[in-house]
Structure 1
Amino acid sequence: QDSWVNSSSGGSPDCCHPDTFWGPTDLSELLKEGTKESHDRAENTQFVKDFLKGRIKKGLFKLATTALYFTYCALEEEMDRNKDNPVFAPLYFPLELHRKEALIKDMKYFYGEDWKEKIQCSDATRQYVDRIHHVGQHEPELLVAHAYTRYMGDLSGGQVLKKVAQRALKLPITEEGIQFYTFENISNAQKFKQLYRARLNALDLDKNCKERIVEEANRAFRFNMEVFDELDKIGRSLVEEAQDGGVPVHDGKGDIRKCPYYADKLGNAAAGCPYHTVVALAKQPIVQLILAACVAVAAGAAAWYVM
């Protein structure tokens, strides 16, 4: 694809015309650039900020998992419906991506075998689900936006939230309750995401259709933010559950897997008084620099998840 258009007179590039240079045309890049503002807004919702800091009550996490269950039931039903549709078929990876069965395991863990009788779809989630069904049945090309927004986030920032939830809620190391975040059939998340983006870019779509997909991706972000806001309001009325003492779960300023200082403190918390140790170390200039560097890591990771 040329980065400029031909002039009307001689067919040669008109490099001086202000409208001749085009932006990205690959759908993956259009989605990345076109949803950047939505990323920022979503990661700054109170629910997400509290979650990253480990301030997540078990009751609220159960409700968030319930919202995910209804969302993915709708999304994967419509993906199955359109698995042979050329506007979506290249992005159909049921073995690698589908989350419904994993979510059922999480629901059983949190609610018991009779979990279906104990849950209901919230108002905000219902609106999201209704939109997914409409798209899948009437505008299947826009299903691309919903699949991209959810699954790429799950494989990125979702892995940060997995660690935070496991530690904050003291979930089993065998990962019961967080099966949603575990992709057993993807050995290398980074390579899979590259494959997925390549498939996105290979879709035979015109410019107008790509713009509509980006618009729909932003709509998907808005639906998710409405769910987050709904959960935040519910969370204020839930009784805080007692947590054991120790090193804070996550300071909200970095990925605990990538910040060596914080990971080291988690591993050596039992050596002394965690609170005083952390406070003392946090006053050291070098530690402050490391924590500052971790801020950018968490922001990027969370942005990919909150969709």
Structure 2
Amino acid sequence: MTLADPPARLSVRLRSETRSDHDEAQGSGFLDRLASGGLPRAAYADLATQHWFLYETLEQAAAAMAGDPVAGPFVFPELTRLPALTADLTLLAGRDPHQDRRSPLPATERYRARLREVAFDRPWAFIAHHYTRYLGDLSGGQYLGPAIAKAYGLNGAGHRFFVFDGVSPPAFRARYRSLLDDLTLSAADEDRLVAEVSEAYRLNIAVLAGLKERWVGAFELTPEAVEQIARHMNDDHAEDNVLIVRGLGGVGAATAARVSGLDADGMEFEATVDGIAVPVRIPFRERLTERRQVRGEAVRMYREACAALGIPPAH
């Protein structure tokens, strides 16, 4: 008989189980273009605007949760970002966001709706969103801020969002992770917290995708890329294509199927039913912003088709 391994500390579990979500957020492309100065200054102001809306809601949640015995210790006044964002936007865009109530991006509004839904009265959810945003600001944000300041000629003012006066980011990160490890949560609530961190990353990725589409342009697959992807699907995943059109395309009698095209919004198939070619289009879950997302959508469609057909996926 051997003793079971002790459960992983929450801070370690969060880093390991949400690493892929974190990496996807970092790989959005929009932030890299900002850091290199490859976008107009107005694009940086747009990022600050979306942040302003998000932190307005998150910091309202912090005020609501300050007295909570579980979530309250994570409310640090020195982390408050809204005044810095207000000052940044007043300089960058010549407006005070308190008076300029322009609409946030749809993805930003979805993010805020999720915060309103869970972060005002569920300690595990508040901590999840607080961790995702502020630990990110105190980690990657400490590299992004100086790069943006250099790229756009900002000297203090205009990038105050990235500056935490009186805070040592390394020491604070260590303190924060210690708080996470000292949390007393039920197993179910700890699982919910980890899942909500992944959700927060997905919401953030969607905001960055919206900004990228606005400032970089809509994502388009070249004819060569479409041909390569279709050839791969048709040569290596012909059986998967059949399952996809049967399970998701409403063509249950298909005996064969081939990818005939795709774009940022969906994949097109030509299914064979009784010897007749039937066109089928299956939309992606969300509009793609990069070619590498095609593979993830193809895998998702295959697995969802298997589930709809009641058969176990082979891979």
Structure 2 counterpart SS, 1:33: helix
Aligned AA (2:53) = F
Deviations 1:248-302 (A, max 9, x none): xxxxxxxxxxxxxxxxxxxxxxxxxxxxxxxxxxxxxxxxxxxxxxxxxxxxxxx
| Equivalent of 2:2 in 14, 17, 40 | 14
- In 1: Cα distance, 2:187 partner to 2:100 partner: 46
> Residue 312 of structure 2 aligns with which residue?
none
Alpha-carbon distance between aligned partners in 1 of 2:209 and 2:54, rounded to the nearest angstrom: 16
> Could you give the per-residue CA deviations for residues 110-168 of structure 1, whole angstroms, max 9, x where no partner exists?
22255432633111100001111111234232110100011111011101111111111
Of all paired residues, the percent bearing the same amino acid is 30
Name structure 2 gaps, 5 residues minimum: 219-315
Paired residues for 1:1-307 under 5 Å: 13-14=1-2, 20-24=4-8, 26-94=9-77, 96-115=78-97, 116-117=99-100, 119-171=102-154, 173=155, 175-186=156-167, 188-236=168-216
Larger Rg: 2
CA RMSD of aligned residues (A): 1.8
2 CA distance for matches of 1:184 and 1:137?
27
Match of 1:137, SS state, is coil
Q: Distance in 1 between the 2:148 and 2:196 partners?
A: 29
CA contact (8 A) 1:88 1:144 kept: yes
Cα displacement (A) at 1:204: 1.3
Q: Secondary structure at the match of 2:120?
A: helix
Q: What is the alpha-carbon distance in structure 2 between the residues aligned to residue 108 and residue 97 of structure 1?
A: 20
Counterpart CA distance in 2 for 1:86 and 1:190 is 26
Note the residue ranges of structure 1 that are not aligned, 5 or more in a row: 1-12, 239-307
Change (3 A) 1:37 1:105: same
- Taking the aligned partners of 1:32 and 1:206, their CA distance within structure 2 comes to 19
Q: In 1, Cα distance between the equivalents of 2:90 and 2:34? A: 22
Count of paired positions: 217
- Work out whether residues 76 and 98 of structure 1, in 8 Å CA contact, stay in contact via their aligned partners in 2: yes
**Richer in helix (by share):** 1
8 Å Cα contact 1:75-1:132 kept in structure 2: yes
The separation in 2 between residues aligned to 1:40 and 1:114, in whole angstroms, is: 33
- Residues 64 and 191 (structure 1 numbering): CA distance in 2 closer, same or farther, change over 3 Å? same
Contact map agreement 2:65 2:121 (CA 8 A) in 1: no
8 Å CA contact 2:124–2:190 kept in 1: the answer is no
